[in-house]
Structure 1
C-alpha cells in the first residue's frame, strides 16, 4: 500500500488553465477535443512533446479512427500545429505539438467578451486576500514572539479588530508593540490604548508615532523631575 501511495504522489499533476475549461464551449470545441488537448498538455509536462497515436489511444476512451479525425480537425481549424524542433545539443530534428494557436484564440475570445479583465481582476483580488491573510499570520507570530507564549482568543480577536475594523496599518501595530516592549507593559489592552491615542492624534505613520512617543517621554521625564509643575 505504501509503495502504491508513493507511485501516486510521483505521478504528478497536469496544469491546465481554468480559462480553457470555462470558455471551450463558446469556442465550439467539443468535450472530446478538449480531452485531447488536456492529454497533449499532460504529455508535454512529462517531457513528451509529440506522443504517438498509440500513446494517446492508451489514455483516451476512443478508437484510433476517431482520434485521428479529431486531431485532423484541430489541425485543420488551426487550434494547434505540428512544429519541427531542432535539438541544439544533438542537431536532431523532432516534431512536436504546439498549442500556441489555441491560446491566441482563447485570448481573442476573452478580449471580445471582456472576460480577460474580469479574470485579471479576480486574480488580483484573490492575491490581495492571500497577501492580507499572510500579513495577519505574520502579525500574530510577532506578537507571540514578543509575549513569549501563544495568544489567547481575546488577544487574537483584538488583533483581528485592529486589522479588519480599525484598519490600523500593520507597521503601526508593530510600532505600538515595540513601544509596549520598551516600557515593559506587554498587555494587549495597553497596546490598544497606544493605538487609540495615536488615532486621536491623527497619527498614521511610524515616523509620526515615534516622534509622538519621544515627545511624550520627554514631557513625562520633565514632569517627574519637577513634581510641582
Structure 2
C-alpha cells in the first residue's frame, strides 16, 4: 500500500470530462483513439510539452506504428492538428493539439441529432482518407512523420485531390522507386495543371499519350524525313552485280 500511495502522489491524476466519456462515440472517436488521447493527455498533465509516441505505445502495449496509425485517423477526422512550436531548448518541435476533439464535442452536446448525422457522413468520407494513409505508409515501408501526415491531409482539405488520384500518384512514385511525398506532390500538381482531376481522366490521358507515342514513332517517320529508315534490298549484296548483268 505504501508503494501504491507513493505512486499515486508521484504520478498525479488526469482529469477526464465525463461529457467526453458519454459522447465520444457520437462524435466518431473509437475506443482505441480515446485511449491514445488519454495517454497523451496524461503525459501533458505531467508536464511533458512534447509527449513521445513511443512512450504512449509502451503504456498501451502497442507498437509505435499502431499509435501513429491512430493519430493518422484522428488527424483525418479533425480531432487533432499538429503545430510546430519553439521549445525551451530553442528548437522547433511538433506538438499535438486536440482542441478539435472538444470542438466536435461541443457540437454534439449542443445539437446531438445534427452532430450524429454529420458524423455518419464523415465516417463514410474518411474511409478513403484512411486508406490513403495506410497505403502510403505500407508502400514507404515506414511510419509517416507528423509533418507528412499534415501534408497528406492538406491534399484532401486544401487541394481537394481525389483519393483515387492520390493512389495513382503513389503508384507512379513506387514504380520509379521514389518514396517521398515531395515527388508525389509534383505529380499531383502536374495533373491538376493539366485539368486531370479524376482517376478516369488520369488513366485516359495516360492511354492517349501511350497511343500517341506508339503511332507517332512508327509509320510517319519511316516514310519521310531524315529519320526515315533505309530500304532493305531483297537480294544479297554479292548478288546485285549478277542481277545487273542478266
Q: Normalising by structure 2, what TM-score?
A: 0.42
Q: Which has the larger radius of gyration?
A: 1
Q: Normalising by structure 1, what TM-score?
A: 0.45
